[in-house]
Structure 1
Amino acid sequence: MAFEELLDKVGGLGKFQMLQMTLILPSLMVVVCHSLLENFTAAVPGHRCWVHILDNATVSGNDTGILSPDVLLRISIPLDSNLKPEKCHRFLHPQWQLLHLNGTFPNMTDLDTEACVDGWVYDHSLFSSTIVTEWDLICDHQSQKSVGQSLFMAGMLVGGLIYGFLSDRFGRKLILRCCLLQLAISGTCAAFAPTFLIYCSLRFWSGCSAVVIISNNSMLVTEWTRSQSKAMVITLIACALSIGQMMLGGLAFVFREWRTLQLVVSVPFFVFFLSSRWLVESSRWLIVTNKPDEGLKELKIVAHRNGIKNSEEILSMEIFNHNTLFWHLYESTALWEQYFPVPEMQTLRVALASVGIGCVAASGSALSVHSAELIPTLLRAKAVGLDTLVSRCGATLAPLLMTLVVYLPTLPWIIYGAFPIVAGLLILLLPETKTLPIPDTIQDVENKQRFSRKINEKDSYTKVTKC
């Protein structure tokens, strides 16, 4: 394709691409932290009801000082089926008769209990505070925790759809810069949210921008990379996302207070916003949207940064030789505008989960490579937005599916496992794109399919004649 030839003239993998990735990869490492942030900021610590005779320092110090906290806990909090203190109920009155039961456990259902009307006492040994302890998202309010997580995923769904169309309309760089600033503001404000409702609203706003930061950054790298190197570049992007996940665990270990952790992963986006001014807009997108002069200007910048001498003369000659290309791309653009549519077996569980995460990461990398080679530049951001819309539907429902355990404990895991199997079978219907250049228009996609079909027929003919 013509753009691939132009890219080779200015350098398909040189100093410019290295600088572009240097500016982009750090933001990818941090943005993925927002997707997994509530694994730590919304962690549920051990808790029990607040008890007057146990947790009121004045009462416990004067009237019950001769009794140990364990004894006071026994007469104040009933035991659950695992003989652990109940998390959501307490005795209506202290059950002093339990002090005389030596190692026996009476029928707790005969004793009057009540909900935790005076609040809860939390275990702060692991996290000094979370949104759960901040707003008591436990017991009767525990479903609100899942709603908060789902709203962030819903934001990614909406943001991917809306900003995907805007990216194809106004450019990858402009929308990316807006989303970097949006995530910086919304994420920082979430760290100071006074109520859970405001926190959820800000998390939704953060989700809208987080997905676009990932997609547009990826496009600004892949659309400036030659076909022979794009698989390696996309793999580096996937590695950056994985490093971000590991980095989040370290940050959560250091910053145990949820507002501080929220702030730590949000403030860097002000820096990323400022540094994004040195990013270069996709010349491939500029060309296919009938802006060849701007595309040529960006190509000259890339050639200069890659140390290509006489770049203006070379590019002018190439543009002259491919003058018909731009007219063809313009016609293709007009054509496209008419169409777009439990503790048990813990070691084994951890091992299987690790294997599963590895498979997810590998499939995500392969999917990124395949989709970049399959979708034309003219519609790539829209397609990524639509893909995000579909994928975030699952991500939004994922936390809510865990409520199905009340019907069958294994039902959520059956659903989580069945969908990847079905998706893997459907992938077999897609055409192979290995070693083929990235398409720019619909006609490029059609030509690629005809070319791939001819190669398959030739290989089949060769095998038959050899036999």
Structure 2
Amino acid sequence: MGETSCAVPMGFEELLDHVGARGRFQILQLVFLYIISMISYPHVLLENFTAATPEHRCWVHVLDNHTVAHNHTATLSQQDLLRISIPLDSNLRPEKCRRFVQPQWQLLHLNKTLWNASEADTEPCVDGWVYDKSSFPSTIVTEWDLVCEHQSSKSIVQVVFMTGSLLGSLIFGCLSDRFGRKTILTWCLLLMAISDTCAAFAPTFFVYCSLRFLAGLSIMTVLANTFNLILEWTRPLSQTMTAMQTSHSTGQMLLGGLAYFLPNWVTLQLVLSIPLWVFCVFSRMAVESARWLIFSNQVEKGLEELRRVAHINRKKNAGETLTIEFVKSSLQEEFDEAQKKTSIFQLLHAPRLRMITCCLCFIRMALAIAFYGLILNLQHLGRNIFLFQILFGLVTLTSRFVAYLLLNYLGCRGSQILLLFLTGLSILVNTFLSSGEKGV
């Protein structure tokens, strides 16, 4: 069998079949990397809960200073004190960012619909805010008062994190090709574990943003390298990709459940960060991509990993026939292709290829804006964001299997057109919904 195999040229896929492409090793590696991806993905969406904005109003002396007794307020209810201290907005609800300079006692005797609140002087919340802690006892918003004139700071956190994700993809993506998928995965898990654990104890908002930037640097590389490490060891690719992508959906549902039971932002941050330390240690157990090792001129190490996989998959004969000469002769054509210097800019040389590349990049960007614009702003959809988070995970989990079936029946182009049409239609319908309907 060895002589026949050596005589017939084969690519890496055939070599992978030789050691087992769907065996015990692939199952173990898939489960391990699936858990890493499932635990890591919630860190992208953390600010949905750690930066949730609870109901709030200005702190007022007559209402919130419980150490001072006022004879003229002793018989008044909390609702009456609130009415004389906080003006109403256009929806006849207490203002969140302004208060009366002086208590408006006349409001206790006037119909609030007949009195013009603009006649009374108001001022910003110079003494701070009072927050409704029924859903969120503590968030970074309540920690550093990121409300009213400072509410844009909440968006800064997400911008900083996404900026880190962009830079990290470029930097660590190149380093993964240079030093290996497993090595960079381990270092990125360590970086994310350190930064997000320390973020739970950040003394200032600036320090918190800096640490989330570092977490952003590593998150996309962790998610990408877990994909690469299993995809480069498995066939068929479509089934493996679908299985790995469901880890993001289960991560969303996990985040919604944990946030419900752990509403304090520090606790939630730590519970999601501490497991990263464990996986950082055990990531050394993952098997490096033999494809990367072989085409990085580390044929002996690649051969060791192939033999290791053959042993786990109980392919004893395959392990015996694997030699450096066998691997080189089997991959001679791919070795020759690998010697050619290529650049990403070659995608832009051919006119038709340039058009396809630009079109797909535009589609990808449009989908990313729509997806992250929705998934990172769950609080705008309604109050029960815990349920929304779990439902989004369930919907995306279902949609991945639907997309896999459509891909098999309609092909790439047909399924792409259908799903893009449905996505655009959904966004248009949502645009014309009234704010009352969207806030249910």
Is 2:249 the partner of 1:242? yes
* Partner SS for 2:123: strand
* Partner SS for 1:121: strand
Is 2:38 the partner of 1:33? no
Per the alignment, residue 391 of structure 1 pairs with none
Cα offset for 1:247? 0.6
Per the alignment, residue 129 of structure 1 pairs with 138
Q: 2:292 aligns with which of 276, 285, 288?
A: 285
Cα distance per residue 1:277-324 (max 9 Å; x no partner): 1100000111222222221111000001111113332223xx545534
Cα offset for 1:359? 9.3
Per the alignment, residue 362 of structure 1 pairs with 400
Q: 1:336 aligns with which of 337, 341, 344?
A: 341
Is 2:66 the partner of 1:57? yes
* C-alpha separation in 1, matches of 2:38 and 2:303: 31
Counterparts in 2 of 1:401-440, with a 5 A limit? none
Per the alignment, residue 119 of structure 1 pairs with 128
Counterparts in 2 of 1:364-403, with a 5 A limit? none
Cα distance per residue 1:116-141 (max 9 Å; x no partner): 00000000000110000000000000
Q: 2:310 aligns with which of 295, 303, 312?
A: 303
* C-alpha separation in 2, matches of 1:281 and 1:364: 31
Cα offset for 1:329? 3.7
Per the alignment, residue 12 of structure 1 pairs with 21
* C-alpha separation in 2, matches of 1:71 and 1:137: 28
Cα distance per residue 1:392-418 (max 9 Å; x no partner): xxxxxxxxxxxxxxxxxxxxx66x99x
Per the alignment, residue 45 of structure 1 pairs with 54
Determine if contact 1:156/1:207 at 8 Å carries over to the other structure.
Answer: yes
Determine if contact 2:164/2:215 at 8 Å carries over to the other structure.
Answer: yes
Determine if contact 2:242/2:401 at 8 Å carries over to the other structure.
Answer: no
* C-alpha separation in 1, matches of 2:281 and 2:56: 43
* Partner SS for 1:207: helix
* C-alpha separation in 2, matches of 1:62 and 1:27: 61
Determine if contact 1:289/1:330 at 8 Å carries over to the other structure.
Answer: no
Is 2:84 the partner of 1:75? yes
Determine if contact 2:192/2:215 at 8 Å carries over to the other structure.
Answer: yes
* C-alpha separation in 1, matches of 2:397 and 2:225: 24
Per the alignment, residue 191 of structure 2 pairs with 182
Per the alignment, residue 198 of structure 1 pairs with 207
* C-alpha separation in 2, matches of 1:112 and 1:126: 33
TM-score, structure 2 normalization: 0.77
TM-score, structure 1 normalization: 0.72
* C-alpha separation in 2, matches of 1:170 and 1:138: 44
Pairs aligned (count):
363
Paired residue type of 2:43:
H
Per the alignment, residue 143 of structure 1 pairs with 152
Cα offset for 1:230? 2.1
Seen in structure 2, the aligned counterparts of structure 1 residues 190 and 361 have a Cα distance that, compared at 3 Å, is farther
Determine if contact 1:187/1:266 at 8 Å carries over to the other structure.
Answer: yes
* C-alpha separation in 1, matches of 2:114 and 2:193: 54
Cα offset for 1:99? 1.2
Cα distance per residue 1:236-290 (max 9 Å; x no partner): 1111211110010110011111011000100000100111111000001112222
* Partner SS for 1:48: strand
* C-alpha separation in 1, matches of 2:30 and 2:133: 40
Seen in structure 2, the aligned counterparts of structure 1 residues 212 and 361 have a Cα distance that, compared at 3 Å, is farther
Root-mean-square deviation over aligned CA pairs = 2.8
